[in-house]
């Protein structure tokens, strides 16, 4: 009896030890592939979502329960960004370390899930059973080393994709454990199912593409979950499938299906996704030509590429059906890819037709298909070639990922790479111009902004960027023209109104300036510079009460702006509040701001005279 117990313990220790070795290997190879990324600066949308995002500087936003109700806020992802900000503010190293750790955890979860699926599959097929551990490990290594994943790891804000993937895969893994325990222990089963549900919720709170999780869980149920008689739970499957079908029909029929971009029809977006599918598959199979912005133009009609994409899509579905009995894991992997692409590549129009980080979660399915295919091909007599083939593939992937990460080293390098691949992409050209603007090279920035507009005269963001360069160079009339063109398209954006309003102020058109700055405040009532500049213009118009109100509000929002104390001091001076005026300038002076000494002397003299006069009056009163 003791020997049997010891064997069980040894077996359990061996299993855990093997998992530990897998985690160590995944961590090491991932580090090698991403070792040149830990100092990569903020890129592209990192600027708006992190650098200029005031909501991550404190936790008030995350304490508001209503913020968590809206999954479009991606609240959990931004909570992790806020934590990174607390740790190192805008030092990117901690952000990259976090992304690396999430990627490693995802690789380990891929290993655990693949291993579990292989074991479940071995009940019906024993052809790969002896290699479960190595197959699962190979799937995991392909997943973490594939260069298509760089956008979801090196591009900081796209941790949204990797975090959603983490909780998505964890949810499915926990669901499988819960369902496997339902026969033995209902309490343990419910515990794991509750954890699966919690993980699924965190996935959706990280990014909306996790909304396909219920469908994928149903697929797992159909493929792998069996009762004592090794049969699927047919009634359960049909009931859940029916409820899901009704839910989808209701969402579509009632117009609740979301839409990010009103300028793109659902039909055009769907048609475009068929040609995008071809590019995704090509990049995954032959990862050459990666691009931060592929510049895909939305299709307005069906052409040869769209038809080719449709045929490939139909072919993938057909393969899923045909391989279900012969090789269930390949069938499952294809279905995983198709299902996890549904949210971003079907009927929900999104601003960008294609971005590579959308393949982060679907890559598990493709990795599974690739590795199972390789192991199946190199079995029996060809098995001696299996190890060198796998090592070669993984080495190539590692080197390609490391090389791809070199392109991410600077804002300039990633957009130069984009233009090399697509010289006519106006957005890429404009963003290269922005890299020169960040280097304070306005001449080069203007050169690329003008080139971008030559390629596409309707690329509105370039007008905003060019307008800011013109503004900084005090060319206010042309700046106003660019801001106005941008605002013809985007009427609810604060920054162009702000810059246009300040430009009007410099040109002496105070009424238009006040109007624009008021719009900015209506859009964002916590934007301190808008109050400050509107206050200055009110002061110039002689509306001192309004000016004082705006200065007070600006300082309330941003107490660090000590220069504004001088403006407020002068308003106090006009109102005869000399003590308050003196307190403000002394406070400004204490913070290293230069103040006219004659102004301070004048204030002190007036205050002293008032006190002397008050004392004289009091003496007279006592004498009388």
Domains of the chain: 2-406 (no CATH), 431-623 (1.25.40.10)
Q: Average pLDDT in the 199-216 region?
A: 96
Closest CA to 569 of 592, 551, 585: 585
pLDDT of residue 624: 39
Q: Which tens digits make up the pLDDT trace of 499-547?
A: 999 999 999 999 999 999 999 999 999 999 999 999 999 999 999 999 9
pLDDT value at 620 more than 60:
no
pLDDT of residue 252: 81
pLDDT value at 261 more than 90:
no
583 Cβ partners below 8 Å, 6+ apart?
none
Q: Which tens digits make up the pLDDT trace of 324-360?
A: 988 999 999 999 999 999 999 998 999 999 999 999 9
pLDDT of residue 614: 66
| 276, 354 contact by CB (below 8 A) | yes
pLDDT of residue 370: 97
Q: Average pLDDT in the 49-53 region?
A: 93
The DSSP secondary-structure symbol of 298 reads P
Q: Average pLDDT in the 572-596 region?
A: 91
Banded model confidence at residue 258, pLDDT cuts 50, 70, 90? confident
pLDDT of residue 183: 64
- The token duo for 531 is 């109050």
Cα angle, residue 497 at apex, residues 484 and 553 outer, rounded to 5°:
165
Residue 197 and residue 179: Cα distance in Å, rounded? 13
Q: Average pLDDT in the 203-227 region?
A: 95
pLDDT of residue 616: 61
Q: Average pLDDT in the 146-167 region?
A: 98
Q: Average pLDDT in the 263-269 region?
A: 93
| 354, 279 contact by CB (below 8 A) | yes
Burial class (CB in 10 A: 0-12, 13-18, 19+), 538: buried
Q: Is the pTM of this model over 0.85?
A: yes
pLDDT value at 109 more than 80:
yes
pLDDT value at 127 more than 80:
no
DSSP line for 300-364: SS--HHHHHHHHHHHHHHHHHHHHHHH-HHHHHHHHHHHHHTTTTSSSS--S-S--GGGGTTTHH
pLDDT of residue 123: 67
DSSP line for 33-89: HHTT-TTPPP-TTHIIIIIT-GGGGSSTGGG-HHHHH-GGG-HHHHHHHHHHHHHHT
Banded model confidence at residue 595, pLDDT cuts 50, 70, 90? confident
Closest CA to 76 of 211, 212, 202, 210: 202
- The token duo for 180 is 């496997």
pLDDT value at 167 more than 50:
yes
- The token duo for 476 is 């206010």
Q: Average pLDDT in the 4-17 region?
A: 53
């Amino acid at each position: 009896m003791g020997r049997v117990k010891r064997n069980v313990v040894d077996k359990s220790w061996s299993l855990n030890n093997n998992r530990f070795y897998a985690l160590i290997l995944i961590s090491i190879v991932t580090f090698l592939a991403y070792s040149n990324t830990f100092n990569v600066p903020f890129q592209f949308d990192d600027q708006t979502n992190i650098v200029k995002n005031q909501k991550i500087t404190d936790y008030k936003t995350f304490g508001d329960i209503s913020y968590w109700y809206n999954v479009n806020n991606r609240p959990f992802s931004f909570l992790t960004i806020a934590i990174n900000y607390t740790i190192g503010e805008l030092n990117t190293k901690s952000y990259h370390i976090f992304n690396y750790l999430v990627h490693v955890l995802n690789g380990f979860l891929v290993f655990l899930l693949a291993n579990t699926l292989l074991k479940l599959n071995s009940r019906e097929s024993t052809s790969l059973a002896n290699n479960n551990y190595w197959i699962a490990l190979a799937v995991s290594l392909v997943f973490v080393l594939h260069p298509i994943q760089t956008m979801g790891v090196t591009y900081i804000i796209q941790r949204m994709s990797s975090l959603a993937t983490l909780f998505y895969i964890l949810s499915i893994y926990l669901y499988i454990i819960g369902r496997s325990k339902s026969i033995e222990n209902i309490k343990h089963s419910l515990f794991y199912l509750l954890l699966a549900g919690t993980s699924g919720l965190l996935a959706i709170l990280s990014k909306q593409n996790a909304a396909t999780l219920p469908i994928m869980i149903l697929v797992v149920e159909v493929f792998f979950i069996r009762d004592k008689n090794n049969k699927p739970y047919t009634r359960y499957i049909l009931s859940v499938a029916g409820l899901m079908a009704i839910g989808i029909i209701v969402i579509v029929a009632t117009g609740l299906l979301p839409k990010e971009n009103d300028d793109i029809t659902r039909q055009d977006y769907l048609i475009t996704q068929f040609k995008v599918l071809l590019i995704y598959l090509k990049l995954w199979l032959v990862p050459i030509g990666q691009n931060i912005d592929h510049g895909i133009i939305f299709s307005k009609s069906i052409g040869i590429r769209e038809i080719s994409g449709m045929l490939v899509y139909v072919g993938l579905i057909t393969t899923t059906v045909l391989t279900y009995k012969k090789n269930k894991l390949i069938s499952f992997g294809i279905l995983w890819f198709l299902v996890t692409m549904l949210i971003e590549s079907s009927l929900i129009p999104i601003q960008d037709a294609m971005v590579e980080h959308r393949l982060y979660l679907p890559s598990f399915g493709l990795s599974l298909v690739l590795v199972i295919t390789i192991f199946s091909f190199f079995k029996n007599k060809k098995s001696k070639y299996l190890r060198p083939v796998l090592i070669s593939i993984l080495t190539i992937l590692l080197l390609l990922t490391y090389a791809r990460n070199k392109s991410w080293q600077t804002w300039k390098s990633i957009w130069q790479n984009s233009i090399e691949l697509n010289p006519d992409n106006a957005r890429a050209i404009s963003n290269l111009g922005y890299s020169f603007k960040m280097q304070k090279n306005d001449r080069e920035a203007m050169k690329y902004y003008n080139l971008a507009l030559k390629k596409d005269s309707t690329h509105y963001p370039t007008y905003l960027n060019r307008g800011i360069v013109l503004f900084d160079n005090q060319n206010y009339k042309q700046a106003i023209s660019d801001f106005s063109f941008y605002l013809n398209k985007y009427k609810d954006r604060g920054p162009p109104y702000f810059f246009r309003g300040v430009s009007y102020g410099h040109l002496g058109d105070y009424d238009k300036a006040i109007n624009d700055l008021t719009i900015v405040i209506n859009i964002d009532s916590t934007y301190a510079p808008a109050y400050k500049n509107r206050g200055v213009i009110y002061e110039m118009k002689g509306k001192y009460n309004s000016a004082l109100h705006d200065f007070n509000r600006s300082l309330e929002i941003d107490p660090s702006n000590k220069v504004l104390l001088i403006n407020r001091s002068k308003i106090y001076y006009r109102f005869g509040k000399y003590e308050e005026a003196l307190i403000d300038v002394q406070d400004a002076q204490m913070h290293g701001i230069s103040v006219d000494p004659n102004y301070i002397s004048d204030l002190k003299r007036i205050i002293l005279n008032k006190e002397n006069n008050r004392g004289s009056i009091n003496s007279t009163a006592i004498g009388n």
